[in-house]
Amino acid sequence: MAADYYKFQLLTGCRGVEIHGNKLHGYPPILVGDVDHFGGKIVLRDTKNRSDHKLLLARQALQIVAQHCQGRAPDEVLFPIVDARKTLAWINAQAGTTVQGHGLRATFASIAEELVSVGVLKRMMNHAAGGDVTLGHYVGKSEAQLRAGWQTVADFIDAAAAQAPAVQPEVRRVRLHPAREVDAAFGSSSG
């Protein structure tokens, strides 16, 4: 579950609070019913800039979402993670890394900046045009252009992941109960 949550964040460039919500700031989480499987999109409601944001999902992100929607009610949270930071801390401890959630958004933006136009990037990141008259009033981007941007970034991430050294699980015997032992896989770098 947690790996899919963070991969989804990396593939979409979403803020964490846009995915899992934040009661303090009034951000709702993504619900299973928010997913438009046929259109391959999710509308994030009332985001940080207080507007809705349409995610046009790359194939890889849509696959993750489809798996997490299967057999679940529309009012259920798509990624029911209680504390995303604790989950990421656990992943970092297992992998020997120091990745931060917002760093995934920054990574998405850095990759996208090399691959798509600034106008597409700003819209994918849900950044307001601000004082940019050209982007705010003259440059329009179609759903096809935006979806192509998300797909280009996702394909780049997949290609980079395929070239990365494989992580081999280290199998250890774990005693969960005095009468039972199980094999548990722990990620460890193969070198």
- pTM comes to 0.79
Ramachandran angles phi, psi of 24, nearest 5°: -60, -40
* Plot region of 26 (φ>0 → left; ψ -120 to 50 → alpha; else → beta): left
Distances in whole angstroms, Cα of residue 140 to Cα of each of 15, 31, 108, 123? 24, 29, 22, 10
Residue listed under structure tokens 């209680």: 82
Across the chain, mean pLDDT equals: 81
List per-block mean pLDDT (blocks of 10 residues) for the chain, which spans 191 residues.
Answer: 88 91 86 95 85 91 96 95 81 84 89 92 81 60 88 95 70 44 39 40
Q: What is the pLDDT of residues 121-166, one digit of tens each?
A: 988 998 766 666 555 556 667 888 999 999 999 999 999 988 877 6
